[in-house]
Amino acid sequence: MKELSRIAEAVQASTTMAIDSLFKQMKADGIDVIGFGAGEPDFHTPDHIKAAGITAIEQNFTRYTPAGGTLELRQAVCDRLQADCQVSYQPNQVVVTSGAKHAVYAALRALINPGDEIILPAPSWVSYYELIKMAGGVPVLLTAGEAEHFKITPERLEASVTPRTKAVILNNPSNPTGMMYGREELKAVADVCVKYDLYVIDDEIYYSLVYDGAEFVSLPSLGDGIKERCILINGVSKSYAMTGWRIGYACANDKIAKVIANYLSHSTGSPCAISQKAALAALSGPQDEVEQMRQAFEARRNYIVERMNQIPGISCIKPQGAFYVMMNIEQLLGKTLHGVTITDGDVFADLFLKKGLVAVVPCSGFGSPSFVRWSYATSMDQIREGLDRLERFLAN
Ligand code: PMP
Ligand code: GLU
């Protein structure tokens, strides 16, 4: 038989999705496993949002919509971004997608010609690397360590730019690090992007999950030069506990938004009509449950970080946003646990799942092999139990 697409065959499965499936399968098999794998809020979608979905079905809002989403939803996106992020977009600059993941892919497809380089700060969410390759681009990793709070600097960004560089991906606050760029740091990165005429795929999907009263600064709010080059990615999955509804969006200048909408008109047709009504209710309805969930995440973060730093052999720095913490396992490397020598996060995560019955995600797929990621989007009881298990697992 003839060979398959080389681009498709080179794609690695998503580690986050793989760990989550394995965890769910083990649970279904009756194994007492605890999951800190996929970043998925444990809260249910708020009732008024669910009701809007049900009404959509009852009122037969069940047909195709425009490829880039309904006008009312695109308007609601503009209003929400104006209110929360102080950025101003028009509905024709918004494209609604089937989840933010697809918005990232469509944005990359809109930008990349074969061989274009995309600078990817690492550690970063697993899907970016593969999506860049899927779109025919070349990922150029720019790694920032724990000592730098996992954040890139303008100097290092500038040093990575080549004549082939087309864009930079920024994820603020970040999955998996939970780190957030302050106004001055962000401005300095934006200045480099404008100087070298780089586009920025700016994923702000965790913007409403920010802690300690810190100010979130949206990249396109920093001025027209950066806004013109920015494709802002966002969605309802995380803020409104709507991961399964599959609604995300991209905002960009008129030309890019049109190119993305055209691309989607062939690749998905339109996002789910029912979910669009639910997302409309989410974005334009009361926001108090978003704040309640944020407060719950903040309390969980405080607990997990404090306890992790009391356990010998591992440590973490305090994230400022999202719902992830990077556990540093460097001190365990070369040591033997349960008869196995720990050589990296993959070995640790595999053993911790099998012997400790706790699912965490190894960060090699994120570009940081001596870390594992815990998602604290789960209940306080589970977090307490997970850390108890970690203590017992390491004591052996
Ligand atoms: N961006 C980041 C940084 C994420 O962590 C996720 C989580 N899957 C997404 C995008 C995609 O979200 P969605 O569920 O809307 O596809
Ligand atoms: N973004 C989440 C995570 O990193 C969900 C899974 C995925 O889409 O990768 O775990």
Taking the C-alpha atoms of residue 4 and residue 6, their distance in angstroms, rounded to an integer, is: 6
Binding site membership of 237 for ligand 2 (Cβ less than 6 Å): no
For residue 367, name the pLDDT band (cuts at 50, 70, 90).
Answer: confident
Pocket test for ligand 1, best of 125, 179, 180 (most atoms within 8 A of CB): 125
Comparing 231-235, 261-265, 283-287, 363-367, the range with the smallest average pLDDT is: 363-367
Q: Would you state the pLDDT for residue 130?
A: 95
Q: Would you state the pLDDT for residue 12?
A: 87
Task: Decide if pLDDT at 365 tops 80.
Answer: no
Q: Identify the residue whose tokens are 């949002």.
A: 49
For residue 13, name the pLDDT band (cuts at 50, 70, 90).
Answer: confident
Listed in sequence order, the DSSP H helices in 171-213 are 183-195
> Which residues are 232's β-sheet partners?
202, 251
Q: Would you state the pLDDT for residue 38?
A: 83
Q: Would you state the pLDDT for residue 18?
A: 83
For residue 22, name the pLDDT band (cuts at 50, 70, 90).
Answer: confident
> What would the pLDDT profile of 307-344 be if each residue is shown by its tens digit?
999 999 999 999 999 999 999 999 999 999 999 999 99
Task: Decide if pLDDT at 396 tops 80.
Answer: no
Binding site membership of 74 for ligand 1 (Cβ less than 6 Å): no
CA 194 / ligand 1 centre spacing (Å): 26
Q: Which CB contacts under 8 angstroms, 24+ apart, belong to 162-165? A: 162/117, 164/115, 164/116, 164/117, 164/138, 165/116, 165/117, 165/118, 165/119, 165/140, 165/196, 165/198
Q: Which fold has domain 48-285?
A: Aspartate Aminotransferase; domain 2 (3.40.640)
Task: Decide if pLDDT at 21 tops 90.
Answer: no
Closest atom of ligand 2 relative to the 375 alpha carbon: 10
- Would you say domain 6-44+289-395 falls under CATH 3.90.220.20? no
For residue 364, name the pLDDT band (cuts at 50, 70, 90).
Answer: confident
CA 64 / ligand 2 centre spacing (Å): 27
Give Cβ neighbours of residue 175 (< 8 Å, ≥ 6 apart): 39, 124, 125, 206, 322, 324
> What would the pLDDT profile of 35-65 be if each residue is shown by its tens digit?
998 899 999 999 999 999 999 999 999 999 9
Neighbours of 266 (CB within 10 A): 8
Taking the C-alpha atoms of residue 32 and residue 54, their distance in angstroms, rounded to an integer, is: 34
Q: With H, G, I as helix, E, B as strand and everything else as coil, classify residue 316.
A: coil
Binding site membership of 175 for ligand 1 (Cβ less than 6 Å): yes
For residue 114, name the pLDDT band (cuts at 50, 70, 90).
Answer: very high
Task: Decide if pLDDT at 14 tops 90.
Answer: no
Q: Are 228 and 194 in contact (CB under 8 A)?
A: no
Binding site membership of 174 for ligand 2 (Cβ less than 6 Å): no
Closest atom of ligand 1 relative to the 247 alpha carbon: 15
CA 101 / ligand 2 centre spacing (Å): 9
Binding site membership of 171 for ligand 1 (Cβ less than 6 Å): yes
CA 279 / ligand 2 centre spacing (Å): 19
Higher pLDDT, residue 297 or 365: 297
Q: Would you state the pLDDT for residue 181?
A: 97
> Which residues are 118's β-sheet partners?
139, 167
> What would the pLDDT profile of 180-233 be if each residue is shown by its tens digit?
999 999 999 999 999 999 999 999 999 999 999 999 999 999 999 999 999 999
- Specify the length of the chain in residues: 396
Closest atom of ligand 2 relative to the 126 alpha carbon: 9
> Which residues are 230's β-sheet partners?
200
> What would the pLDDT profile of 147-171 be if each residue is shown by its tens digit?
999 999 999 999 999 999 999 999 9
For residue 16, name the pLDDT band (cuts at 50, 70, 90).
Answer: confident
Q: Are 337 and 393 in contact (CB under 8 A)?
A: yes
Q: Would you state the pLDDT for residue 15?
A: 83
- Provide, rounded to the nearest whole percent, the portion of the chain with pLDDT above 70: 100
CA–CA distances in Å: residue 374 to residues 47, 325, 328: 28, 5, 11
Q: Would you state the pLDDT for residue 298?
A: 98
Task: Decide if pLDDT at 295 tops 90.
Answer: yes
Q: Would you state the pLDDT for residue 186?
A: 98
> What would the pLDDT profile of 121-136 be if each residue is shown by its tens digit?
999 999 999 999 999 9
Q: Are 101 and 124 in contact (CB under 8 A)?
A: no
Binding site membership of 127 for ligand 2 (Cβ less than 6 Å): yes
Nearest to 275 by CA among 87, 11, 98: 98
Pocket test for ligand 2, best of 24, 40, 102 (most atoms within 8 A of CB): 40
Instruction: Name the average pLDDT for the chain.
Output: 96
CA 9 / ligand 1 centre spacing (Å): 23
Mean pLDDT on 113-119: 97
Strands (E), the chain: 34-35, 94-97, 117-122, 138-143, 165-171, 199-203, 230-235, 248-251, 324-328, 336-337, 340-341, 358-359, 361-362, 371-375
> What would the pLDDT profile of 234-272 be if each residue is shown by its tens digit?
999 999 999 999 999 999 999 999 999 999 999 999 999
Q: Would you state the pLDDT for residue 19?
A: 84
The full set of domain ranges for the chain reads 6-44+289-395, 48-285
22: part of which helix (H) or strand (E)?
helix 15-28
Taking the C-alpha atoms of residue 38 and residue 173, their distance in angstroms, rounded to an integer, is: 17
